[in-house]
Amino acid sequence: MDADKNFLVGVFDDEDAVISGVTAVRQSGVKIHEVYSPFPVHGLDEVLGYKRSRLPIAAFMFGITGTSIALVMQIWMLGYDWPMIIGGKNFASLPPFIPVTFELTVLLASLGMVATFLIASDLKPYKWPRQFDIRSTEDKHVMAIDLALNKSKNKDEISSILKAAGASEVNEKSFD
């Protein structure tokens, strides 16, 4: 049995049931692969044990890079490479550089954030997403449990834990 191939899928009817279900399943020692929801559920990330995202740090670093590149580029071009006195100002006067600096900061921060998010989320153009239950996009909350990660418990034990945790139904799902 390969990892990420065979799953037990618990279907929950509302967000309160899925939050209490995640708590009960984690307390019983079962490792949860992921929980899918048709809308954001407040507190679900804390119950699942997710850490705070480091994407804001990446955004700051990309923004600082954009600011540095813009200032160095403009100061070098207008101050050293081709110095011209325009309107009686110095060669490398800072106020005219502000619009270009702002635009390059925003451009690099936004493009860097998109690239970082795609890499961190493992989203590739050739990778097809797994659909554990089609109702997770409409009105149900779906908890996927990878059976390869939970070798200490068999399918029947995990299924009974999911039922006791409030799942309205438990299904088995396999992927190729």
- Apex 168 CA angle, 45 and 4, nearest 5: 55
Residue 128: phi and psi, rounded to 5, are -90, 135
CA end-to-end span of the chain: 11
Mean pLDDT over all residues of the chain? 88
Q: Which has the higher per-residue pLDDT, 126 or 65?
A: 65
pTM: 0.71
**pLDDT value at residue 2:** 46
Question: CA nearest 109: which of 72, 153, 73, 55?
Answer: 55
Q: Kindly state the average pLDDT of the residues 104-121.
A: 94
Q: Is the pLDDT of residue 165 over 70?
A: yes
Question: CA nearest 4: which of 159, 147, 152, 153?
Answer: 147
**pLDDT value at residue 1:** 38
What's the maximum distance between 2 C-alpha atoms anywhere in the chain? 82
User: Options 3.40.50, 1.10.10, 3.30.70, 1.20.120; which CATH number does 6-52+138-174 get?
Assistant: 3.30.70
Chain-centre distance for alpha carbon 41:
15
Q: Is the pLDDT of residue 110 over 60?
A: yes
What are the structural domain ranges in the chain?
6-52+138-174, 55-120
Q: Kindly state the average pLDDT of the residues 88-92.
A: 77
